[in-house]
Amino acid sequence: MDKLKKVLSGQDNDDGDILQAANQASTLGWGTRMKGFIACFVLGVLCSILGTCLLWIPRVGLILFAVLYTFGNVASLCSTMFLMGPLNQLKRMCAKERALATAIMLTCLVLTMCSAFWWKNNGLALLFCILQFLAFAWYGLSYIPFARDAVIKAFSVCLK
């Protein structure tokens, strides 16, 4: 359990850089971090589910869905910051294997809100929500060893 705590809080690295020092200076204890993670993650999941339920309301349903789904994804993403610290999370998000998925996910988050509020284009809002989901799933799979390779292999078998 101690090794898991060290890995998730970013203390298993011996880099000694300024980001690591700032991350270790966090005043949150392990129990508080776990509570924050659970609360943020549950809030994110509930917002995503509520947004999906409100999708079918005439006229405003798609806008409510886009806003709540986007907020749910942001809350779920922020939940992991409680475990590893915000600076370590940002460092990992920008790592070589996650940079493209992170960029697509963040771009789709912004474009979902733009299409819902400024452009008032429901079709684009729905498309960007779908792309958010796919990018967030691909981002999440990058933390599981060989998961991306397994997904690629499964799709290649299905498409043959």
**Helix runs in the chain, H state only:** 2-8, 18-24, 30-53, 61-84, 86-93, 99-117, 122-141, 147-159
Q: In this structure, what token pair is assigned to residue 152? A: 């690629």
* Cα 121 to Cα 115: distance, rounded to the nearest angstrom: 5
Angle at 124 between CA 123 and CA 125, to 5 degrees: 90
Cβ-contact 15, 22 below 8 angstroms: no
Which amino acid, residue 89?
Answer: Q
pLDDT, residue 15, reads 46
Closest to 89 measured CA to CA, from 77, 97, 81: 81
One-letter amino acid identity for 70?
T
**All structural domains of the chain with their residue ranges:** 2-159
Q: What does each of the 160 residues of the chain score in pLDDT, given as a tens digit?
A: 565 566 555 565 544 455 455 455 467 888 899 999 999 999 999 999 999 899 888 888 888 999 999 999 999 999 988 888 889 899 999 999 999 999 999 999 999 999 988 998 888 989 999 999 999 999 999 989 999 999 999 999 998 7
pTM: 0.75
- Residue 14: predicted pLDDT: 47
| CA-derived radius of gyration, the chain | 18
Distance CA 157, CA 116 (A): 37
